[in-house]
Amino acid sequence: MASECPENSIPYNTTECFCSPGYYHSYSAPQAICSLFSLPSGGGMTEHSAVGNNPGFLLRIFPFDSISKFTHPNALILEITAFVLLTWLMFCATVRIGKLRGGRSIWFKIRWWISRLDFCYDTKHWLNDRRVVMKRRTELGGTFSIACLILFLGLFAVLLYQIITKRTIVVHRMKPSNGQDYLSFVNDFEFNITTISSMSCSHLRDLDTFVTENPSIIGFRNTNLSTYANYSCHNTSMGPEISIKCDRCKVPLGSFYIPWRFVDLPNHPAAAVAFKFNLTARDHRNSKKMGYVSGIVKSGMHTETAPKTFRGPDANVLVVHLSPQKYFNRHDLSIIQPIFHDFLPGSYFSESSRLQASLQNSNDGLVNTTLFVKFLSDYILEVYEEKISGTVSFIASIGGVFIFSFVIFFYLLAQFEFRFKKLRNEDIVFWNTISRNRARRNWEKLRKYVMYTWGSDLDGCNITGKEHNNGMLESFPDFGSRHRRTEIKKDSISICMDESKNASTEINFVPETSVEKVE
């Protein structure tokens, strides 16, 4: 009864229920639930093909191909380079805000060491007229030198990545073939086709048929499939899977097809919503290399993509082409590459009323499927690689990247020093500050030495001539002559006489320092 059937299902034979067009009972879901089958792309067909290594265990679990689409190494390297470059420029700009405090702060030391990093533009600074070019290291030059280095390393990494990944181009050439050319194509084929439905292998009939094109007459010749390949059926969560395997296959030079069908069973009608295929060809000499094509189809290229259920006498044909390809860039790999060409839908129903009528018609109680294969034996595709970059071009590219990085920041350096005059003599300011601090430290050492030798009180009236004279002799042994002792004694007496007249004399020791730039 219609009221007794679950959601997304229709009644038939007054007591049974069946899924609506486009819906099917999935083995991974409860039996009473009808699931709508749809493709991730939203269309009626999805297909992927390639030639490469046999996928390993991890490649079957993790979607590395999908992850690699979001990495984009070139863009990632450029983004990292831009981030590091902006961080460095902001750091150098922030350091300039700090107070120098006469060269005693940490900011002065940081700015001094930044100026020591000026290795690119030390001879490119602003010069007055008739001045000799000399090496000058400034803070602005150090900033732009490191910025130039960061940009160069980032661009060099991108260049190196492109050369490694795209150092060669793949060239395809079509070569006319004959029967002798196919002796080197010894492949192992495996065709897996899953009928996405609620059926099982018990619905399968008439698989042992192999129809080949007969060149001597107009038409085809029927033979047993078991004489060419091994075949089997397996129940999967999506439906019955037909597996056809052939080792060291001798592919007929022409067209051939393999038909089979699924029939109604009591209370289990034959119907399908889509077809999943996975066709592989491996080189018998190297099983790790393979060519494959896989995908899912639920409608043809020129039919509507609305939900539908395949059921009826007309066959659903999967058209596959086999293209012989020889890869000279992969140790002369010879692969007969399967290529999915088209899907020709047979009988199907998109309306619930028509499907309901078909379920009650015994003539529609089957799903015919045909795998049609055409061997493209007129030409052989030869694939080889040609190098597009050599040593000279690589060196030239590196030079171009360095000049590009150098010119950009050299232009900025010239503009800054041209527009801001205080930036022209940054090195002189640094050297003056360092020389002043050095002179102050030397003077402090001398002052401490004098205080340690004569004491902090230099009042001669409180010191006898003998004591003063002995102190001088102990400090300066070379002054032991009688003449020198007499001069020292006279000086001390004269100082006492001046002190007695309340005419104090203050002696200040101020060092004279001439600031010179030392390179």
* Strand duo 312-327 + 379-387: pairing: parallel
Q: In sequence order, which residues have a C-beta less than 8 Å from that of residue 261 and are 6 or more positions away?
A: 204, 205, 206, 366, 367, 368, 369
Instruction: Tell me what percent of the residues of the chain surpass a pLDDT of 70.
Output: 75
Lowest mean pLDDT among 158-162, 218-222, 250-254, 478-482: 478-482
Q: Provide the total of helices (H) and of strands (E) in the chain, helices listed first.
A: 10, 21
Q: What is the pLDDT at residue 497?
A: 41
Give the 3-state secondary structure of residue 381. strand
The winner for highest mean pLDDT among 77-81, 94-98, 423-427 is 77-81
Average pLDDT of the chain to the nearest whole number: 77
Given a cut of 70, whether residue 51 has pLDDT beyond it is: no
Q: In sequence order, which residues have a C-beta less than 8 Å from that of residue 407 and are 6 or more positions away?
A: none
Give the 3-state secondary structure of residue 23. strand
DSSP string covering 106-129? HHHHHHHHHHHT--SSTTSS---T
Could you give the CA distance from residue 105 to residue 111 in angstroms, rounded to a whole number?
10
Instruction: Give residue-wise pLDDT tens across range 360-394.
Output: 888 888 999 999 999 888 888 888 877 777 778 88
Structure tokens at 264: 């109604």
Confidence class for position 32, pLDDT limits 50, 70, 90: low
Fill in the amino acid letter for 321: H
Higher per-residue pLDDT: 205 or 519: 205
DSSP string covering 136-197? ---HHHHHHHHHHHHHHHHHHHHHHHHHHHSSEEEEEEEEE--GGGGGG--EEEEEEEEEES
Torsion of CA 338, 344, 347, 352, to 10 degrees: 100
Instruction: Give residue-wise pLDDT tens across range 269-284.
Output: 999 999 999 999 888 8
Could you give the CA distance from residue 260 to residue 368 in angstroms, rounded to a whole number?
6
Residue 33's nearest CA partner among 4, 1, 7, 3 is 7
- φ/ψ of 151, rounded to 5, equals -65, -40
Q: Can you point out the beta strands (E) in 185-254?
A: 187-196, 204-205, 210-213, 220-223, 230-236, 239-249
What value does the mean pLDDT take over residues 151-175? 85
Higher per-residue pLDDT: 423 or 408: 408
Lowest mean pLDDT among 36-50, 100-114, 242-256, 321-335: 36-50
Q: Residue 491, CB half-sphere, CA atoms under 13 Å: how many?
A: 11
Confidence class for position 473, pLDDT limits 50, 70, 90: very low
Q: Residue 41, CB half-sphere, CA atoms under 13 Å: how many?
A: 11
DSSP, res 55: P
Vertex 334, ends 292 and 317: CA angle to 5°?
Answer: 40
Query: Is the Cα dihedral 375, 379, 380, 381 positive or negative?
Result: negative
Q: What is the pLDDT at residue 254?
A: 80
Q: Is the pTM of this model over 0.75?
A: no
Confidence class for position 196, pLDDT limits 50, 70, 90: very high
Q: What is the pLDDT at residue 127?
A: 67
Could you give the CA distance from residue 349 to residue 273 in angstroms, rounded to a whole number?
10
Instruction: Give residue-wise pLDDT tens across range 100-151.
Output: 777 777 888 888 888 888 888 877 777 665 565 677 788 888 899 999 999 9
Given a cut of 80, whether residue 203 has pLDDT beyond it is: yes
DSSP string covering 319-347? EEEEEEEEEGGGSSEEEEEEEEEEEE--S
* Strand duo 239-249 + 187-196: pairing: antiparallel
Structure tokens at 448: 């401490």
Vertex 330, ends 229 and 193: CA angle to 5°?
Answer: 30
Paired with 286 in beta bridges are 283
The H or E element spanning position 210 is strand 210-213
Confidence class for position 50, pLDDT limits 50, 70, 90: low
